[in-house]
């Protein structure tokens, strides 16, 4: 039999069964090429890698919005454009107040820091100790001025990165499904349930960061601005904005803002104002937004413990910079999910206490536990 020009290299089509290992090898080689080229691309685009990661995470959160718009009758292109517009408006709404405050009101912030007492007297058992705060004030003022100068000089670069973010976000929303299928294709079918579990945890974590935390921050600003305005603070908008930003800091939250204000009133000899700000501030600004917002939006959140979220937040921030606020908790959440999958694979449904009490030896396996292949067929990644 003479091979036609359209026959695949390697012989007759009857040998398809024997080509299965070769197809698998070809798939893994292509995956290796993609990974290698991805590393080279990442090294070349290192200066905008944070923008790319940010666009990836935002696109992952907006994928359901794109799908919802398509189901409502919009074309893929129009739905991607509308979802991109939603992401663009959200990013501008979050970052523009921060940029405007640092650019236009930096002198007022520096004046407030400069007016703080240079010495803080603390009395314990009729003994007064004086804490020198002048050096800290000078350091804070130098940092604020340096941040303002850096921001002003970086505005053209930020504008270019914003344009890159919008273009990349649109491309990911338009071709995200194809990219996801390509990423999952090299994974053997028996292991795709693991990919599905990790992807689900990543989506839930990003939802918790972008939607849940952002909604809590907006609520914090909404209640913080009138709160500080009623109490007579000249910089009510700036204080409310700082409180909204602090909402992203796990565990401590806006209390980082309320506590120094209360301490300032104590050192200024106004304990009534300190008690008012300390008690009402912690309740209205620190506690109320969480109680009002989180229960309504927590259904799709990752349920990551606050301690682990704090570890990911601080570690990512110190290691990667601003983008680490998102990437740090995301990596920690995916790592925890991988550990849970490993524990379930090895120990089944046996608890840690039962495992410790059973002594040496393997724990009993669950008879009704489905095989990895069966789990893969039930997951959403069963198809190429």
Residue 5: inside a domain: no
Domain boundary among 163, 186, 209: 186
Question: Taking the model in full, what pTM does it have?
Answer: 0.64
Give the whole-angstrom CA distance, residue 361 versus residue 382.
Answer: 34
DSSP string for 60-105: HHHHHHHHHHHHTT--HHHHHHHHHHHHHHHHHHHHHHHHHHHHHS
Residue 99 lies in a domain: yes
Residues in the chain: 384
Domain match, 208 and 113 both: no
Percent of the chain with pLDDT over 90: 3
| Token output for 229 | 């305005």
Quick one: which H or E segment has residue 7? none
What confidence score (pLDDT) does residue 81 get? 92
Residue 36: pLDDT over 80: yes
Round the average pLDDT of the chain to a whole number and report it. 75
Q: Which range marks the domain in which residue 74 is found?
A: 45-186
Q: 97 in a domain, yes or no?
A: yes
- Say yes or no: 178 and 193 in one domain: no
Do 234 and 274 lie in one domain? The reply is: yes
Cβ neighbours of 262 (radius 10 Å): 21
Together in a domain, 282 and 313: yes
Least confident interval from 210-224, 295-309, 363-377: 363-377
Same domain, 244 and 166: no
Q: Buried (b) or exposed (e) across 278-315, using 16+ Cβ within 10 A?
A: beebbebbbebbbeebbeebeeebbebeeebbbebbbb
Contact indicator for 196, 184 with CB cutoff of 8 Å:
no
In this structure, is residue 358 part of a structural domain?
yes
Task: Give the tens place of pLDDT for each residue, 64-89.
Answer: 888 889 898 888 899 999 999 988 98
231 and 180 in a common domain: no
pLDDT at 351: 60
In a domain, 148, yes or no: yes
CB 161 within 8 A of CB 51: yes
Per-residue model confidence as pLDDT tens digits over 253-303: 787 788 878 877 777 777 888 888 888 888 888 788 777 776 665 555 656
> Are 197 and 182 in a shared domain?
no
Residue 56: the pLDDT is 86
The pLDDT of residue 6 is above 50? no
Helix (H), strand (E) at residue 367: none
pLDDT in tens, 159-205: 888 899 999 999 888 887 777 777 777 777 777 888 888 888 888 88
Number of independent structural domains in the chain: 2
Task: Indicate the angle between helix axes 192-207 and 49-71, nearest 10 degrees.
Answer: 100
Q: Which residues contact 194 (CB under 8 A, 6 or more apart)?
A: 341
CA 247 – CA 219 distance, rounded (Å):
10
* pLDDT score of 202: 84
Mean pLDDT confidence for 21-46: 78
CA 302/CA 299 separation, integer angstroms: 9
Contact 253, 247 (CB under 8 A): yes
Same domain, residue pair 180 and 218: no
Q: Write out pLDDT tens, residues 96-133.
A: 777 777 777 777 777 766 666 666 666 666 666 666 66
Q: Is the pLDDT of residue 15 over 60?
A: no
């Amino acid at each position: 039999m003479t091979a036609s020009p359209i026959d695949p290299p390697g012989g007759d089509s009857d040998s398809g069964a024997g080509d299965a290992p070769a197809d698998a090898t070809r798939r893994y080689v292509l995956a290796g090429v993609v990974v290698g080229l991805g590393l080279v691309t990442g090294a070349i685009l290192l200066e905008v890698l944070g923008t790319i990661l940010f666009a990836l995470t935002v696109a992952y959160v907006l994928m359901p919005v794109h799908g919802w718009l398509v189901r409502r009758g919009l074309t893929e292109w129009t739905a991607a454009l509308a979802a991109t517009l939603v992401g663009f408006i959200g990013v501008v709404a979050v970052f523009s107040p921060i940029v405007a405050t640092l650019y236009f009101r930096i002198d007022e912030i520096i004046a407030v820091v400069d007016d703080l007492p240079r010495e803080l007297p603390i009395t314990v058992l009729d003994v007064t100790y004086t804490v020198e705060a002048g050096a800290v004030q000078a350091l804070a003022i130098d940092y604020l001025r340096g941040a303002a100068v850096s921001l002003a000089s970086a505005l053209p670069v930020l504008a270019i990165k914003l344009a890159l973010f919008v273009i990349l976000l649109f491309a990911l929303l338009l071709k995200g499904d194809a990219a996801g299928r390509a990423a999952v294709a090299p994974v053997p079918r028996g292991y795709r349930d693991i990919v599905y579990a990790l992807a689900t945890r990543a989506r839930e974590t990003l939802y918790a960061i972008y939607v849940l935390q952002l909604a809590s921050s907006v609520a914090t600003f909404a209640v913080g601005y009138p709160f500080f305005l009623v109490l007579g603070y000249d910089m009510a908008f700036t204080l409310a904005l700082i409180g909204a930003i602090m909402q992203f800091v796990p565990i401590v939250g806006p209390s980082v803002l309320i506590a120094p204000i209360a301490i300032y009133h104590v050192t200024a000899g106004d304990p009534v104002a300190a008690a008012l700000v300390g008690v009402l501030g912690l309740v209205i600004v620190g506690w109320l937004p969480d109680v009002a917002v989180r229960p309504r939006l927590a259904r799709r959140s990752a349920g990551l413990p606050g301690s682990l979220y704090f570890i990911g937040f601080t570690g990512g921030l110190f290691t990667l910079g601003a983008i680490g606020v998102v990437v740090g908790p995301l990596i920690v959440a995916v790592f925890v999910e991988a550990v849970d999958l490993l524990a379930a694979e090895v120990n089944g449904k046996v608890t840690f206490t039962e495992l410790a009490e059973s002594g040496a030896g393997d724990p009993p396996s669950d008879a009704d536990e489905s095989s990895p292949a069966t789990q893969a067929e039930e997951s959403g990644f069963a198809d190429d």
